[in-house]
A and B are shown apart, each in its own frame.
Chain A
Amino acid sequence: MEEEKETTTTTTTKKKQCFWTWALASVIFRLVLIHFSRNLNLASRPEVSTPLTSLRRLAEGYWLKQSSISPYAGSMYHGSPLLLSILGPLTVQRGEGQYNHLICSLLFVIADFMTAVLIRATGQSLQMAYNQSLKSLGIVRLLERSEMLSSGDIAALVYLWNPLTIVTCVGSSTSPIENLFVVLSLYGACRRLVPLAAFGWVIATHLSLYPAILIVPLILILGYGPDSPRRKLFQQRASSKVGENPSTDIRYQQKELASQPMLPFRFSWRLVVHFILWASLWSCYVLLLCGISVRRYGGLGEMFKSTYGFILTVPDLSPNIGVLWYFFAEVFDYFRNFFLIVFHVNILFMILPLAIRLNHRPCFLAFVYIAISSLLKSYPSVGDSALYLGLLGLFVKELADMQFSFFLFCGYVGISFLSPVMHNLWIWRGTGNANFYFATAMAYACFQIILVVESVSAMLNHDRMLRKLSIMKP
C-alpha cells in the first residue's frame, strides 16, 4: 500500500492540482455571474427562490424587524430568526450602491465552496472505508478502479459545476447555507466528530425542518461507521476463513485480524448517546438564541407557527417546481387537513423500510432521504436537487452500472429548459395556463423518482456483485 502510494504520488498531486484549479474556476465563474446578477434576475424565478429561501423576503423581514415589528408580520418572511440577524444587515441597500449585496452573494459562494470541500472530505473518508472493507473481503481486484479521480473529487466538482447549484448561488437564495449544514452533519458523522455532526443536524433542521429525518442515517453512520458491504458478508468470510484454512499458521490470521481493526460488527452505542446529548445541547442553545431574538415579537410560539407551521400547512400556493401547490390549490378545503397529513406522512413512511434495507450504507441512505424529501417537500427549489445530485457523485463507483443514466440526464436537461419556458407561456404570454407549468413539475418529479429507484437498485446490484465475488474468490 505504502509503495503504491509513493509511486502514485506524482499522479495524485496532479489530480489534486486539477481539482483545485477546477474548483477555483467554478468560484471565479460564480463571481463573474454575480457581477451580472442584476441582469439575470434569477432571484425572482420560482425555481430558484421559494418563500422559505428567498433573500428578498429575508430583506423584508429584516426591515420589519428594524422597524420593531415582528419579522413574521404580513406573511412575508418564514425563515429562521438567526439567519435574519446574520444575513439581514447584508441585505440593506445603502446609498453607495450594491456593496452589501455583493458581500451577501460572496457569502453564498463561500458556502458553496465549503460545501464542496466538505463533500470531498466525506468522499475521501467514504473511499477509505470502502477500500478497507474490500480488502478485508479480499476483492482487491475492484480496487484498481481507484486509480481514477477519487469519488470525493468527482462529487465536489459535480456539486460545484452543477448548473443548478450555480443558479441557486447566483440567484441569492439561502439554500446554499442549508445545504452546507446538511453536508456538515454528514461530514461530522463520517469523521466521527460527534459535536460537529450534531451541530450540523440541529442547524439544518432548524433552517428547513426536512433534514430532521437525517437523524436515522447519522445514527447509523455513528453506530456502524460509514458505508460498507453487508455485515453478513464479513461474518461469512471470517467464518469461512476460519473453517477453510485452520492448518495455516495462526500468525497470518492474527495479522489479518490486526489489519482490520474496526470491523463494523458492533453498534457503538457510546457515540450515539453522545450524539443525542450533543444534539439536545445544541438545540437548546439554538432555541435560546432564537428566543432572545424573537422575544419581543411573540416569542418562540410565533416563530414555530410561521416557520415550521408554514412548511407543514402549505399556505403559500404560489407555483414552484414541486407538486404540492397545484394539488392544494385544487383540493377542497375540508379535505385539506387530511391530504396535508397524507403528503407529509409519505416521507415518514419511506424512512423505516429504506433504513432497514440500506442500513449498511448510511451515507447512501442519507442521499436517498434527501432526494425523497426534496421530491415531496412543500416548497422545493433547484437548490435541493443540487445537493442530492452532488451527493450522488460520492457513489460513482458503486453506481457505475446504473441504468438509464443518459435518459435521466436528458430528462433533467429538458426539464430545466422547459420549466422556465412554460412559466413564461403561462405568466408572461398568457397563452398557456397553470397546467403547462404543472406538467413540467410532474415530469420533474417523475425523473426524480426514476433517479432514486434506479440508484437504489444499482446499489443493491452492486452489493449482490460484491457478495458473488467474495463467495467466488475465497
Chain B
Amino acid sequence: MAESETPKTRPRPLVRLGIFLISHSLLVSVVCCTAGVLALLLLPVLAKNTYISENALMPGSANAMLSSEDISEAHRFMNDLTGLNLKTGETGIESSRLIARYMSDLGADVNYHKFHPQPNQFRPLHFFSNSDSRIIQENICCSSHGVNTVGIIRAPRGDGKEAIVLVTPYNSHKIDLAEALSLAIAYSVFSLLTRVTWLAKDIIWLAADSKYGEYASVSAWLRDYQTPVFGDFEKPYSEICCESNARHGLKESEITERKISDVFRRAGTMAAALVIKVSDGNKQADGTLSIYAEASNGQMPNLDLINIVNNLAVHRQGLQVKVEKLLSLLDSKWLRILGEVFESVGNIARSLNPQWKFGIPAADYMEGAATLASSLYYQALGVPTGSHGAFRDYQVDAITLEISPKVALNNKIRQTEFLQRGGRLIEGVIRSVNNLLEKFHQSFFLYLLTSPSKFVSVGVYMIAFALLVAPLPIVAASLYSDANKWDSSLKKHDPTSSPKSADDEHRNILRSWKWLYAAKQVFIIHSWGVLVSLLPYLICQMPNWMSKVLTWLILGSPIIDADASQSQKREWAILKSVTISAAFIGLCLMSVINFATAEIGALLLVPMCLLAHPLRLDVRAHSLKAFTRAGCNLVLGFIGFPPAAFFVLKGSFEGFESVNISDFWNWIESLWAWNSATYLYIE
C-alpha cells in the first residue's frame, strides 16, 4: 500500500536516498566492493606514526642503572647454568634449584610451581559458560610434571597490589646458550631491581619450564595465579606428589634455604608482562629485536607497551626493531607496481599542493604491506604467537621480546656487551611500566601494525571493512523489495480473475511475513552447520560406532531437505536475501570480535554471496550471460570451498591444541564460510 502511494507524496530525502541505493544495488555493490578492496590496499599508506599516549610512562627519562657488577654476576650465573648442563645428564631439577638459589640469594621470595601439562581439549561452549571449574584429572603421574621457578621482589615503595612479570622460558632438560643468555638478562635486571629504591610494583620473575612447551607452562602458572584454590582441593594433588616433594625437601634443607617453598606465592595484579627470549642468531645475524604481540583470537596488547619497547630499543640501545612480515610478499611484482602507482599518485598530489603528504616510497609501501599482511594473518589465525598469549586471557598486556645478537656469542666480551644491552632495555621498560598509575588504557587495543613505529587504528581499517560489507544489506534489501513488488504486481494483474481473488488475498495478506519460511530454512542450514562444526567435539565424547552413524545422518540430512525446498524464483530471491542478511550479521559480529578474520572472511564471502544464483535456473535460461554467471558461480564455489574446508580443519586442530575462546570464534567463522559454500553446492 505504501508503495502505491509513494509517487504521490515525495518521500523525505533520507528515504529517497535509500530507495536510490536499493534500485541501483548492482552498481552500488560493485563500487563498494572495489572501494573496499582498494581501501584495504591503501592501509599501509594511511598508517600513522605511533606515539606514546600515556604521559606517566616517560620512557627513557632516567639513565640506565644497570652496572657492570650486575652483568658480571649474571655472567657467573650463566656459566653455572651451562656448567650444570655439562656435569650431569639429568638436570631437570638441578637447573631449577640453581635458579631458585640464585633468586633467593638476591633476597627474593622464591617458590616452585609444579604443573602438569594439561591434555588440551576443545570446549566449544567455553565462551558462553566462562566457567572456571577446573577438571581435576584423576590419573596424574608424578613423573610428567614440569617445575616453574618463581621469584618475587617485594617493592619497597609499593603496597603489593601490583606487579610486573618477567618470563624466561627455558628447557630444564637441556639449557642451550640462548636460553642461558635470556635467563642471564633476566637475572641481571632482577639483581638490579632488588637494590633500587624507585620500585613501586612487585617484580615477578617466572623461569618457565618449557619442557612441555612455553605456552603450557606459562598458562598453567597463570591459571594457578588467577584462580586460587580454597579448601581441600589441593590435598590429593600434593599427596600424589608427596614423594617428589619429600625428595625436594631433603635437598633443600641441606642448603638451608628459608625462603624457597612449594607454597604458591602471589604478588598483586599484573600491570604488564615481558617474555624475554634470545634467538640463536643464525638466521639474521644482526642486532635486532623482534616483537611478537598477537595473543589468542587476534587480541593485541596495548599499543603503548610496544611503543615503549620500540622507543627504548631504537633510541637508547640502538637495536633494530622488527615485527613479523610475510616475506613472500616482498618479492611479489604486483605489489611493487601498486606501490609505485601509489607513490606516483602521492607525488602528483604533492606537486599540486605541498601540504598533502600522502604518498610513501614504493619500498616502504611493500614493507608495510608485508607487515600488515602478516599482522592480519596471525590475528586471523587466532593462535598466539608465543607464551605472551596466555597473559592476554587475563587482561594482562604482554609481549615477547626476541633479541638476536649481532654475532655468535662465544666470546665473553661479546656476551657481556650483549647482556648489558638487553638488560638495559628490559630495565628501561620496567622502569616505564613502574611509573604507570593505572592499567594500560590510554592507547589502542585494536590496531594493525605496518611497521614497529607505524600502525593503522580501528577507525581507519573499519572503513575498508564497512565498504566491503556494505553491499550485503543493500542487495538484501533490493532483493527483498523486488520480491515484494513482484508479489504486488501479481496482485494487480489478478483481479481479472475474480474467483481466485480470495485465495490470492489470502496469500497476499501474509506477504510481509513471507520471509519467515526462508528464515526457517536458513536457520535449519545454519544449525546444521553448527552441528557439523561441533562434530569433532561430540565425537570425542561418544562411542565410536554411534558417532559414525550420526555423522552420516547429519551430513546426509540437509541435502534431502534442500532438494525438496527448491522452488520458484521469487522464493529464491527471498531466501537469498535472508541468507545475505544472516551473513551480514555474522560478519559484523565477527568484525567486532576479531577484525582480521572478518576481513578475510568478507573477502571470500561477499563476492560469493552476491554472485550466488541457483544453477538450475541458469541452466534453464540458456543464454550466454547465464552460462558465464553459472561458470563464475562454480569457480567461486570451488575457490570458496577448499579454503572453507581448510578453515574447518585448521579450526579443529587449533581447537585441540589450545583451549580458549578464540578457537570457538574461529570455528564460527569457518562455519560461516562453510555454510555459504554448502549453499552454493546445494543450489
Contacts and interface: CB of A to CB of B under 8 A. Distances in A.
A binds B: yes
Interface string A107-139: 000000000000000000000000000000000
Contacts of A413: 585
B506 interface: yes
Contact of A420 (B128, B439, B506, B511): B128
Contacts of A397: 509
A346 B231 CA distance: 52
A400 B127 contact: no
Interface in A363-409: 397, 400-403, 405-406, 409
B559 interface: no
A296 B130 CA distance: 40
A39 B2 contact: no
A178 B143 CA distance: 57
B513 interface: yes
Nearest to A411: B585
Interface in B82-121: none
Contacts of B502: 141, 144
Nearest to B477: A407
A425 interface: yes
A418 interface: yes
B506 A145 contact: yes
Nearest to A464: B1
Contacts of A403: 2, 512
A329 to B, nearest CB: 17
A41 B125 CA distance: 10
B512 A401 contact: yes
Contacts of A422: 592
B634 interface: no
Interface in A35-76: 38-41, 44
B521 to A, nearest CB: 14
Nearest to B395: A430
Contacts of B129: 39-41
Contacts of A414: 585, 588-589
Interface string B558-594: 0000000000000000000110010001001100110
B125 to A, nearest CB: 6
A418 B512 contact: no
Given A39-B131, A141-B502, A431 B299 contact: yes
Contacts of A400: 509-513
A402 B512 contact: yes
A405 B510 CA distance: 11
A40 B125 contact: yes
A29 to B, nearest CB: 13
A421 interface: yes
B515 interface: yes
A461 B585 CA distance: 31
A335 interface: no
B407 to A, nearest CB: 40
Interface residues of A, dominant DSSP:
helix
Contacts of A436: 592
Contacts of B142: none
B667 interface: no
B1 A410 contact: no
Contact of B515 (A39, A141, A406, A428): A406
B581 A431 contact: no
A44 B588 CA distance: 25
Interface string B510-528: 1111010001000000000
Given A421-B593, A425-B592, A429-B299, A405 B513 contact: yes
A3 B577 CA distance: 43
Contacts of B674: none
B446 interface: yes
A420 B445 CA distance: 19
A417 interface: yes
A39 B125 contact: yes
Q: Which of A39, A40, A406, A413 has the most CB of B within 10 A?
A: A406
A162 interface: no
Given A410-B581, A418-B592, A405 B445 contact: no
Interface string B42-86: 000000000000000000000000000000000000000000000
Interface string A416-458: 0110111011001111000010000000000000000000000
A397 B513 CA distance: 11
A401 B515 contact: no
A402 B127 CA distance: 37
Contacts of A44: 130
Contacts of B395: 428-430
A428 B445 CA distance: 14
B465 interface: no
Nearest to B577: A406
A418 B593 CA distance: 10
B506 to A, nearest CB: 6
A461 B1 contact: yes
A38 B128 CA distance: 11
A422 B505 CA distance: 44
Contacts of A461: 1
A116 B214 CA distance: 55
Contacts of B446: 431
A417 B585 contact: yes
A284 B581 CA distance: 53
A39 B123 CA distance: 11
Nearest to A396: B513
A167 B509 CA distance: 32
Nearest to A465: B1
A403 B502 CA distance: 22
A406 B480 contact: yes
Contacts of A40: 125, 128-129
A195 B480 CA distance: 48
B584 to A, nearest CB: 8
B570 to A, nearest CB: 15
B509 A145 contact: yes
A38 B129 CA distance: 8
Given A141-B502, A400-B510, A401-B509, A410 B593 contact: no
A421 B589 contact: yes
A264 B515 CA distance: 37
A344 B581 CA distance: 36
Nearest to A39: B129
Contacts of B588: 414, 418
A72 to B, nearest CB: 29
Contacts of B506: 144-145
Which of A41, A410, A421, A425 has the most chain B CB atoms closer than 10 A to its own CB?
A410
A96 B125 CA distance: 27
A426 to B, nearest CB: 11
Contacts of A401: 1, 509, 511-512
B395 to A, nearest CB: 4
Interface in A141-192: 141, 144-145
B3 to A, nearest CB: 10
B445 A430 contact: yes
Contacts of B511: 400-401
A41 B515 contact: no
Interface in B482-516: 502, 505-506, 509-513, 515
Contacts of A39: 125, 129, 131
A398 to B, nearest CB: 11
Given A141-B505, A400-B509, 8 more contacts: A41-B128, A141-B502, A403-B2, A405-B515, A410-B585, A418-B589, A430-B439, A430-B445
27 contacts: A40-B128, A41-B128, A41-B130, A141-B505, A145-B506, A397-B509, A400-B511, A400-B512, A401-B512, A403-B2, A405-B513, A405-B515, A406-B515, A406-B577, A409-B519, A410-B581, A414-B588, A418-B589, A418-B592, A421-B589, A421-B592, A421-B593, A430-B395, A430-B445, A431-B445, A431-B446, A436-B592
The 8 closest A-B pairs by CB, nearest first: A431-B445, A430-B395, A414-B585, A400-B509, A406-B515, A41-B129, A410-B581, A39-B129
Interface of A: 38-41, 44, 141, 144-145, 397, 400-403, 405-406, 409-410, 413-414, 417-418, 420-422, 424-425, 428-431, 436, 461
